[in-house]
Amino acid sequence: MIKKAVIPAAGLGTRFLPATKAQPKEMLPIIDTPTIQYVVQEAVDSGIEDILIISGRNKRAMEDHFDRNVELEDRLAKEEKDTLFNEIRHIADMANIHYVRQKEILGLGDAIYYARFHTGNEPFAVLLGDTIINSVMPVTQQLIDVYEQYQATTVAVEVVPRDKVSRYGIVGGEKLSDHIMAIDQFIEKPSVQEAPSNLAIAGRYILTPEIYTALEQTPKGKNNELQLTDALMNLTHKEKVVSHTIQGKRYDIGNKLDYLKTTVEFALRRKEFAKPFYDYLKKIVEENDRPL
């Protein structure tokens, strides 16, 4: 049973400057909901209510978002805005959220190492704080189901076009089923020729406590950063590590173009926006139907 989740969210968000100069990129909204709220909701929908967020400097907005705001609640109650009141209260009550600061930005592996005292001797989920996955069954729940079957570290992967593998961390290994692979390779941004598959790491993991020993034994790489993929590669020499090809669509909020695409797609799913927004987009396309 996976009872705890870790959400690394300490990055500087330099690709979104100046918007992220004083606020976390994880708080950038998809319409009216911060990115990280979608991530926390996925963990909760997967049966996890004990969540550790690895934060950093200038990240207090996340703590404030998941805290109570009594003055706002009182105002909404007095104005009988029941729907908004219930929504705001839900945010504060959705999970038991704890925080620890990553003192220096030294890689995803270093961030996860900060969770060792919180997760202790039990397996735990990891959800990247700037990645949303839209799916019928929460992807974290998909990974939990795979973990319970194989009792092994489980990495979420997605199929990407072969000619774009150089943008991602790619895994390789032996197929155990249509969706499961026993991993024996982790390659960061390989060339098309070097890539062992077109399965890219998708920002969700179930990690066993042995990951901490692997992190301790993994040398730091470029920019003095400790990479999780390097530690996972070391772990494959000691125990089974499997991948699960996710059923769902991943949205990376880490760059501006993907952020814009995500906002558009989510808006088209919202009942109150879908028709007028679609009509607006159609009009824009028609008015600008010329080569750019």
Same domain, 107 and 143: yes
pLDDT computed for residue 22 by the predictor: 85
Residues spanned by the domain of 265: 256-292
Statement to judge: residues 167 and 265 lie in one domain: no
Q: What's the start-to-end Cα distance of the chain, in Å?
A: 52
**Closest to 163 (Cα-Cα) out of 188, 185, 193, 183:** 193
How many Cα atoms are found within 13 Å in the side-chain-facing hemisphere of 156? Answer: 25
What distance in Å separates the CA atoms of residue 188 and residue 169, rounded to the nearest whole number? Answer: 4
Helix (H) / strand (E) element for 86: namely helix 82-93
Give me the amino acid identity at 71: E
pTM: 0.92
Q: What is the pLDDT of residue 19?
A: 85
Q: Do 242 and 263 lie in a common domain? A: no
274 in the same domain as 210:
no
Confidence at residue 31, expressed as pLDDT on a 0 to 100 scale: 94
Helices and strands per DSSP (H, E), number in the chain = 11, 13
Q: Is the peptide bond before 291 cis (omega within 30 degrees of 0)?
A: no
**Dihedral (C-alpha) 157, 163, 168, 169: value to the nearest 10 degrees?**
70
In total, how many domains does the chain have? 2
Same domain, yes or no: 74 and 51: yes
Residue pLDDT tens, the chain, 292 long:
899 999 999 888 888 888 888 888 999 999 999 999 999 999 999 999 999 999 988 788 999 999 999 999 899 998 888 999 999 999 999 999 999 999 988 999 999 999 999 999 999 999 999 999 999 999 999 999 999 999 999 999 999 999 889 988 999 999 999 999 999 999 988 999 899 999 999 999 999 999 999 999 999 887 888 999 999 999 999 999 999 999 999 998 878 899 999 999 999 999 999 999 999 999 998 887 765 5
Q: Looking at the chain, how many residues does it have?
A: 292
Q: How far apart are CA 205 and CA 220, in angstroms?
A: 21
Please check whether residues 284 and 214 belong to one and the same domain: no
pLDDT at 203: 93
129/48 Cα distance (integer angstroms)? 16
69, two tokens: 């705001």
Domain match, 55 and 86 both: yes
Domain of 191, CATH number, reads 3.90.550.10
Question: Which residues lie across from 159 on neighbouring strands?
Answer: 199
How far, in Å, CA of 162 to CA of 127, rounded? 25
C-alpha distances in Å from residue 271, one per residue of 163, 235, 274, 280, 285: 36, 46, 5, 15, 22
Tell me: do 180 and 261 sit in the same domain.
Answer: no
- Please tell me whether residues 228 and 285 are part of one structural domain: no
